[in-house]
Structure 1
Amino acid sequence: MIRRLSRKQKCLAAFLFAAVLLLVSVGLYRLIPPEPVRFERYTRQLLEDSLLQDTLTLHYTLADPDGWGLEPSYATLGSFPDGDAIAQAAMLENQYAILDSFHSEDLRAEQALTLDILKTQTENELALMKGYFLQNFISPSLGTQAQLPTLLAEYAFRSKGDIDTYFALLEDLDRYFSDLMDFVDIQAANGVGPEDNTIDRICEQCEDFIGRGDASHFLQAAFVEKCSSCDFLSDDERQSLADAHAKQLTDCVFPAYRNLMERLKSLQGTCKVQGGLATCPNGTDYYEALVRKETGSSLTIPQIQERLYRQLLADIQKVQSLPQDTASGADPYEKLDAAKMLQLLQNSILNDFPALTDVDWELKQIQDELADYASPAFYLTPPIDAQETNTIYINPTEQMSGVELFSTLAHEGFPGHLYQTNYFSSTDPDPLREVLSCGGYIEGWATYVESWFCTEAEGVWSGASLYWLERSMNLCLTSLLDIGIHGHGWSLADVGSFLDGFGISDQAAVQNLYQYILENPTNYLKYYLGYLSFADLRTACENALGDAFDLRAFHEAVLTTGPCPFDILEDEVFERLDISQPLSPAS
C-alpha cells in the first residue's frame, strides 16, 4: 500500500530539498575560485607552458627557474610548425574560447587589460592562419640562424647547471635546424619557399658565421671569457670546459650550420612566386593580418598609406622651410663617445619622463662575423626576476658618430628600449605581460623617443632637426615600399621607379633595399607606423587637454600601461589622463 504524503509533509520535503540544494550550491561555489584568482592561474600557466617549450627563452626570461617551480625535463631550442594548419587553428580557437570565458567586469583592472591584449593577439594569430605557409622564420638579417649566435654568446652562466644546459642546447642545434628546414621544405613544396637570392644570402651569412671553423671562433672567446668570471669554477675546470666547448663547436655547431646550408641549397629553383607576399596565394590577406599583428595598429592598408603620405608631405614642407644655414658647422656631438652619450641621456630625461631607479648597463660591439647582417644596434633584455646588467650592442660597420649615434642610443637606451623595459618592470605587472610580443609599441616607442631627442638637441645644434626629418622621411619611404612590395606586388622595377621620383637612383642601393624588405615584411612599418601612432596619440591628448597637457604625465600613462595594441593603449591613456572623449589617432 502506497502511503501518500500530506500537504504539510510535502511542504517540509520541499523546504528540506531547497535547503540541501542551497548548501550544495554554496559548497560548490566555494570550490570555484574567484575570477581574479582563476585568471591569475591561467596567465601563470600560459607563461610557464611557453617557457618550458624553449629552454633558451626560459634562460633569458628567468634567472631562477627553480624559484618558479620550473624544472624542464630536458634542454631544447624549441620547435617550428609541423605543417598541420587545421590543428594549429583549432588550438587557437580553443585558446580564444578560454579567454572569452573570463568576464572583464569581474577582474582587476590590470587583469582586464591583460585579457584584452591576449584576446586581440589571439584574434591576430587566427587571422594569420590565412597564410599559414607564408610564415617567415629564416632570412639573412632577422632569421633564426642569424639571431641565434648572439644569444649563445650572451648566454649567462649563473651556475654549473647553466653550463650543462648550454652544452645541451649546442647538441640540440642540428635537430632544431632540421625541424626548421622540415617546415621550409613544406613551404617549398607549396611553391612559397625562399627565393634563390635569399638562399644565397643566408648561406653567405652562415659561411661568415662559421669563419675558419676552429677554436679561434668568437663563440669560443665568449665562452672562455664568461667562464673566467665564474667564481664557482676552478682553473682546472675552466680549462676542461674550454676544451669541451671547442669540441662542441666543431662537432655540433658548425656541422649544424653546414647541414642547414646544404638543405637550403637543395631548394634552389623551387620558389614558384617572384616578389612580395601579394604575389603568393592568400598573400594579400595574410599581409594585412601581419601588419595588424606586428604594428599593433587597427588601421586598414589604405588608411596607413594615407597617413604615411600625409607625414611625408609634412616632413618635406618642414625641410623646405628650414633656414639655409641649418646644420652648418661641425656636429658638436662628434667629440663624445657612446658611453658618455648614454650617461648624458640617462640624466637628461628627468623633466619629460617619470623617474626610474638606477639600472646597470654596458655597451658591447657586435661580433665581426655577424656585423654585415646585424642591425646598427640592439638592446638585450635582462631576466624579469633579477636585476642584471642591461646590454646594448653597437654595430662597428655602421661607423656611427655624432647625432646619429646619440639618436641610436636614445632608441636603444634612455629613454628607449632599456628605459621602457625597466620602467614597465618596476610597475610590477603580471609576468606574462613582460614577455608578450607587441612590436609596434616597443619599436614605435623607441623611434618616438628618437624624435624627442632630436627636438631637445636642436638647442645645441640646429642640424639635429634636419637629421630627424631626413630619418623620418627615409623610414616613411621604406614603409611605403613595404606596402608596395607586399601589399600590391611591386617588382624591383616598380621600386626603382618609385624611389627615382624622390631622387634616389643608385641601383645597388635600390636592389639592397628591395631585397631587405622582400625578406623582412612589416619590419620598417613596425618602427615607423608605431612611431606615428605614439605621435598621433600625443597630439590627440594635447588637443583634448589644451594648456592642461603635461608631457611627463602623458609619458607616464603610456609607460605604465605597457606594451599593447594601440587601440587598447589609447583607451588606457585617455582614462589615466581623464580624457572623456577619445579621438582617433589617425585624425
Structure 2
Amino acid sequence: MTRILAVLLASTAVVSCGQLNAAPAPFECSAASETECINLWFDTKFEEELAFSPLRQTSLGLKTDYDKIDDLSVEAEQRQLDWWQDTTAEMEANFDYDELSDDAKLSWDMWQFRKDQVEQAADFRNQAYILHQMNGAHSALPSFLISQHRVDSEADMTAFISRISGIGTAIDQLLVRAQSNAAAGTRPPQFSYDAVIAESRKITSGAPFGNGEASALWTASEGHLAKLVEDGTITETRADELREQARTALTQDLQPAYQRVIDWFTEDKENADAEAKGVSELADGAEFYNFRLNQMTTTSLTADEIHEIGLSEVARIRGEMETIKNAVGFDGDLQAFFTFMREDDQFYFSDDDKGAQDYIDAAEEHLAFIKTRLPDYFGILPKAPLEVRRVEPFREQDGAAQHYRPGTPDGSRPGIYYAHLSDMRAMSIPSLEVIAYHEGNPGHHMQLSIAQELTGVPKFRAQGGYIPAFGEGWGLYSEKLAKEMGAYKDPYSDFGRLTTEMWRAIRLVVDTGIHSKGWSEQQSVDYFLANSPIPEAAVKSEVRRYIVMPGQATAYKIGMIKIQELRAEAEQALGDKFDIRGFHDTVLGGGPVPLDLLEKRVDQWVAKMQAG
C-alpha cells in the first residue's frame, strides 16, 4: 500500500495564481504545434499547483517553501478547488483538443479527471473521517518530517524547526475539521478514537516533553545537529541555540496542539459508536460510498457488482489454494490448513528485535533476486534506490499493513518499503516474499519511480499523485508477475502469494459488506478468517482499516483485473508480435491514469504494434 500525501487530505496552501474565477487568461505560445504549446502550459500550471503544497515539494526533492507545512483548512481546500476550475476553463479556452497528439489528448483528459475528482470530493467534506488510525495526518506529519526533510545546512535546520511549529498549526486545523464533521454526525468508531489518542501521546512522550527516552522528533533534531557540527557546518554554540529553538517548537507549539487533540478525542469518544458501522449510516452515506468507490476504482461499478466480483474471486482462489495444500501433502481440509499456516511456529520469525531484523534481511534478499530479472520484463527501469525499513515506533501498530513511500525524481532520497514489526506473529514468513514484491520491485517502487523519472511527459502526469486503482492494481498485478519471473520457489511462499491475492479478493466482499450491506466488524473478521490463513491480529487491523477508509480496499483487485484483461487482449490481438516489455512500458510509461484512460493507452500501443 502506498503512503504518499493522500493522508494529509487535499493538502493546500495559499498561492498567488491571479484572481480566481476570472475570465480565462490567454496563453501566449510561439511553439510550432498545439501539442507543444499545451505541454508548455501544463508545466507552467504544474508549478502553480506545486505551490499549494510545501510538503509535496519536499517529497519531490525540492527545497522551496522548505520551512512551511501545508495549509490543511477547509478554506485552503476551497482555494485549490477554485484553481482547478479556473485552470480547466483556461485550458478549454486556449487549446483545441482535436489538434492535439494522442498523448497530449491523454494529458487533457487527465487534467479534466483531476479537476472532477477535486470537485466531487468537495461535495462530501462533511462525511470524511479527518483523524484516524490509518496513518492519519497526526502521525504522518512527524513521520514525513523525520524521513523526508533533509538537513544539509544551517538553513535546512531552521526550516526543520519551523516545520515542527507548523505541525502544531496543521494539527489545530485538522482538529477544527474533525469537530465540525462530528457536529454534522460524522465520527469514526471508538477504536479509532483510542488509536488517535494513543499515537498522539507517543509522539509527545519522552524528552523534551518529559522524562524517559527521547521522542522521535527530538532524536531527529539531535541527529541533525550532531551531523552539522561533525561536518563543521555550525559550531557547538550555534547547535545549542538551535537545540533550544527546537525544544521550544516542540514543547510550546507542537505538544499543546496534540494535547488539544487528546483532550477533545477523550471527551468526544462517548459520542462515537462502540460498535463500528459502515458509512451508509451517515447522512448521504450511500451517495458518499458510491463516490468513494468511483474515486478508488475509477470505474462506475456499483457496490453490489463489486461484492459479486469479490465472491467469485474468493471461490476461484480457494480452488488454487486447495491445489497447493494437496501438493505439500497436508492431511486435512483447507480450513485446517489455514489454521496450520496461521499457528505453526515454522512460519514466523522470533517475536523480538532479532526477528524483526530477520524479516527485513529476508525481504532484502528476495528483492535482490527479483532485481536481476527485471530487464527481461521491462525496457524502462527505475533509477532510484530502494530501502526496507521498520516503521518508526510512534506510528508502529501490531498487524498493520506494510506500505511504501516514494523517493525523489533525482534519486537523492531512496524509495522506502516500511514494515510494521511490533508483533512478529502478525507477519508470517510465507507472505513475506510477495509483500516485498508488491511494495518494492516490480511493484510500487518500480511504478512510482518510473513515473517520477519520466521525460517527455508533462510533469503533472509523471509526478501528479496517487490513483488507487492504477497504483494498487499494478502492485497486485506485480505479485503474480513475480511468479512468471521465477519467484516463489517454495510452495509455502506460493501459497503466501495466493494468500495476499485472497486478501484483496476478500476486501471486495468485506468493504462492500460493511459499507453497503450492514456487516458488523465481527462478521467481517469471521468471513476473513474463514477464507484465509492471515493471522487474526492482522485481520482485525485490516477490517478496521476498511471501516475508516471506505472503498480504498476495493482498488487493488479491480485494478489488477483490468491490467490482466488488457494484457490478455493485447496478447490475443498481437500474437507473436506481443512484447511483454513493451506492454509493461506502455502501462507504466504514461504515469498513473484512471483505468479507462489506461485502456485507451494500451489500445493505441496495440494499434501501433499491428501497424509495424
Report the TM-score range of the alignment, normalised by the length of the smaller protein: 0.7 to 0.9
Q: What's the CA shift for 1:565?
A: 0.3
- Mark the CA change 1:371 to 1:169 in structure 2 (over 3 Å): closer, same or farther: same
Q: Deviations over 1:128-147 (max 9, x none)?
A: 44423112331112311121
Q: What's the CA shift for 1:197?
A: 3.3
- Mark the CA change 1:500 to 1:449 in structure 2 (over 3 Å): closer, same or farther: closer
2:242 is the counterpart of 1:244: no
Residue 265 of structure 2 aligns with which residue? 264
Please list every run of 5 or more consecutive structure 2 residues that lacks an aligned counterpart in the other structure: 1-25, 331-340, 350-357
Distance in 1 separating the partners of 2:80 and 2:415: 36
TM-score, normalised relative to structure 1: 0.82
2:418 is the counterpart of 1:426: no
Residue 103 of structure 1 aligns with which residue? 96
Distance in 2 separating the partners of 1:449 and 1:232: 46
Distance in 2 separating the partners of 1:525 and 1:29: 40
- Mark the CA change 1:548 to 1:563 in structure 2 (over 3 Å): closer, same or farther: same
Distance in 2 separating the partners of 1:62 and 1:392: 18
Q: What's the CA shift for 1:283?
A: 1.5
Q: What's the CA shift for 1:277?
A: 1.4
2:583 is the counterpart of 1:539: no
Residue 68 of structure 1 aligns with which residue? none
Q: Which moved more, 1:542-551 or 1:426-435?
A: 542-551
Q: What's the CA shift for 1:444?
A: 1.8
SS of the residue aligned with 1:268?
helix
Distance in 1 separating the partners of 2:538 and 2:28: 67
Residue 233 of structure 1 aligns with which residue? 233
Q: Which has the larger radius of gyration?
A: 1
Residue 572 of structure 1 aligns with which residue? 601
Please list every run of 5 or more consecutive structure 1 residues that lacks an aligned counterpart in the other structure: 1-27, 66-70, 582-587
- Across the aligned residues of Structure 1 and Structure 2, the Cα RMSD in angstroms comes to 3.6
Distance in 2 separating the partners of 1:88 and 1:242: 36
Q: What's the CA shift for 1:164?
A: 1.9
Residue 163 of structure 1 aligns with which residue? 157
Contact 2:277–2:518 (CA under 8 A) maintained in structure 1: yes
2:181 is the counterpart of 1:197: no
Distance in 1 separating the partners of 2:484 and 2:329: 14
Distance in 2 separating the partners of 1:239 and 1:402: 46
Residue 556 of structure 1 aligns with which residue? 585
- Mark the CA change 1:480 to 1:422 in structure 2 (over 3 Å): closer, same or farther: same
Q: What's the CA shift for 1:153?
A: 0.9
Residue 126 of structure 1 aligns with which residue? 119
Q: What's the CA shift for 1:45?
A: 4.3
Distance in 2 separating the partners of 1:331 and 1:406: 12
Residue 500 of structure 2 aligns with which residue? 471
Q: What's the CA shift for 1:562?
A: 2.0
Q: Deviations over 1:511-556 (max 9, x none)?
A: 6544332112123222332222222222222233334333222111
Residue 255 of structure 1 aligns with which residue? 256
Residue 338 of structure 2 aligns with which residue? none
Aligned length: 547
Distance in 2 separating the partners of 1:146 and 1:359: 26
Q: What's the CA shift for 1:564?
A: 0.5
Residue 316 of structure 2 aligns with which residue? 314
Q: Which moved more, 1:46-55 or 1:285-294?
A: 46-55
Q: What's the CA shift for 1:166?
A: 1.7
2:216 is the counterpart of 1:218: yes
Q: What's the CA shift for 1:202?
A: 1.2
Question: How does 1:128-167 map onto structure 2 within 5 Å?
Answer: 128-154=121-147, 155-167=149-161
2:415 is the counterpart of 1:390: yes
2:434 is the counterpart of 1:407: yes
Residue 286 of structure 1 aligns with which residue? 288
Distance in 1 separating the partners of 2:262 and 2:362: 39
Letter in 2 for 1:265: T
Letter in 1 for 2:193: I
2:475 is the counterpart of 1:446: yes
Q: Which runs of 4+ in 1 moved over 6 A?
A: 28-34, 87-91, 327-335, 503-510
Distance in 1 separating the partners of 2:348 and 2:607: 41
Q: What's the CA shift for 1:287?
A: 1.4
Residue 352 of structure 2 aligns with which residue? none
Distance in 2 separating the partners of 1:322 and 1:390: 34
Distance in 2 separating the partners of 1:422 and 1:497: 38
Residue 435 of structure 1 aligns with which residue? 464
Contact 2:400–2:542 (CA under 8 A) maintained in structure 1: no
Residue 20 of structure 2 aligns with which residue? none
SS of the residue aligned with 2:134?
coil
Q: Deviations over 1:208-260 (max 9, x none)?
A: 33233347112222233344444462341445434432443223222221122
Contact 1:558–1:573 (CA under 8 A) maintained in structure 2: yes
Distance in 1 separating the partners of 2:540 and 2:407: 37
Q: Deviations over 1:495-521 (max 9, x none)?
A: 367557648999987765443321121
Letter in 2 for 1:255: P
- Mark the CA change 1:440 to 1:383 in structure 2 (over 3 Å): closer, same or farther: same
Distance in 2 separating the partners of 1:459 and 1:514: 27
Residue 108 of structure 2 aligns with which residue? 115
SS of the residue aligned with 2:124?
helix
- Mark the CA change 1:124 to 1:83 in structure 2 (over 3 Å): closer, same or farther: same
Contact 2:130–2:177 (CA under 8 A) maintained in structure 1: no
Distance in 1 separating the partners of 2:184 and 2:568: 46
2:393 is the counterpart of 1:364: no
